[in-house]
Amino acid sequence: MDGVFVDVYGPGATCIVYEGRAPHAFDGKHEAQAALELLAPLGVRGVYLKPFARDRSRMGGALPEIVTCATPAAGEAVEEALLVQEHGLRLEVRLYDGLSTGLFLDQRDNRAWAYKFVAERAAKAGAAPPSVLNTFAYTCAFSVAAALAGAATTSVDVSARYLEWGKRNFGHNGLDASQHRFAKMDTFEFFAYARRKQLSYDLIILDPPSFASGNKKKGVRAWSSVADYSALVHEASGLLRPGGTIFASTNTQELCRPGRLEREVIKALGGQPHWIRLPPVPVDFARDRERFVARAFSVRA
């Protein structure tokens, strides 16, 4: 069904409904019940609805009650926090914590790629632990993958709450979060700090949202992927170690058009980078590239 997606997280599932794409007469509770009946043999006990407005900026930061209610649209309530397995990672998700669950499933194979990238660097004789910078880190799943492979990680996000969630994800995987850095800062503010401190990285993760409101009091600048992505790549590239790599992705529809994000990267770097092959789009996202990070790639500056 166009505009409707079901994601499964162990005993719980979310039914994501996009305004303007789902059928006009779509009955969320009816479809959630149908999904529950289909998924029950897999151990799913409850299905939660996640309605996405076409223009979330007009919501003014308010969330519909249905995305924060512990009672699912169908079935029985699941635990507030669940641990799911992904390529050997243990990651915490919360199915009624808001529009997102704490984990973007479309990036799972790219997190496995980051693990492999770091492991190969760490295995080199005499090599120091690879240094990884994860910007717009959210709940730090990329950082966990890199840390498990042997990296020294820095996770940057404006949300203290999500960084604390990220620290819990480190703990869920037997990692000592105190041995890694978590910076509650705007990404561009951190870039300026890193330049002052002459910090550099082997791998920089750029996975920003499409847009974000600014806050002058908190030193957070407004963000638009369409307007700012080139500047993001440009500033990140200045922090790379020799032979370092940038992983850049987007879920912004305009930047997902063929060749568009690549052109932003080329503009930022002033020339062609060395493109590195990434895993293909996961099969469960291949039919809806507007939802997936459609032009995920890495560059070696």
The better pLDDT of the pair 49, 281 is held by: 49
Burial 248-275 (b: 16+ CB within 10 A, else e): bbbbbeebbeeebbbebbbebbeeebee
CA gap 269, 12 in Å, rounded: 43
Highest mean pLDDT among 8-22, 87-101, 240-254, 281-295: 87-101
* Least confident span in 104-108, 129-133, 135-139, 280-284: 280-284
- pLDDT over 60 at 29, yes or no: yes
In this prediction, residue 54 carries a pLDDT of 67
Residue pair 30/50 in contact (Cβ under 8 Å)? The answer is no
242 versus 290: the higher-pLDDT residue is 242
Average pLDDT, the chain: 89
pLDDT of residue 152: 97
Share of residues in the chain with pLDDT > 70 (%): 89
Q: Are 114 and 191 in contact (CB under 8 A)?
A: no
The CA–CA distances, whole Å, from 31 to 37, 41, 185, 218 equal 10, 17, 40, 42
Structure confidence at residue 64 (pLDDT): 87
258-261 LR contacts (CB < 8 Å, sep 24+):
260/295, 261/229, 261/295, 261/297
pLDDT tens digit sequence for 180-223: 999 999 999 999 999 999 999 999 999 998 887 777 666 667 88
Q: What is the pTM of this model?
A: 0.92
Percent above pLDDT 90 for the chain = 68
Looking at residue 83, what is its pLDDT?
Answer: 97
| Dmax (CA) of the chain | 62
Residue located via tokens 């966990």 = 144
Order of all β-strands in the sheet with 4-9? 4-9, 12-18, 46-52, 74-75
Mean pLDDT across the stretch 64-84? 96
Tokens of 215: 């806050």
β-partners of residue 204 are 133, 246
User: Across residues 127-144, what is the average pLDDT?
Assistant: 96
Domains of the chain in start order, with CATH, are 4-78 (no CATH), 105-300 (3.40.50.150)
pLDDT at 291 exceeding the cut of 70: no
Half-sphere exposure of 1 (CA within 13 A, CB side): 19
Helix (H, G, I), strand (E, B) or coil at 197: coil
Q: 91 forms bridges with which residues in the sheet?
A: 84
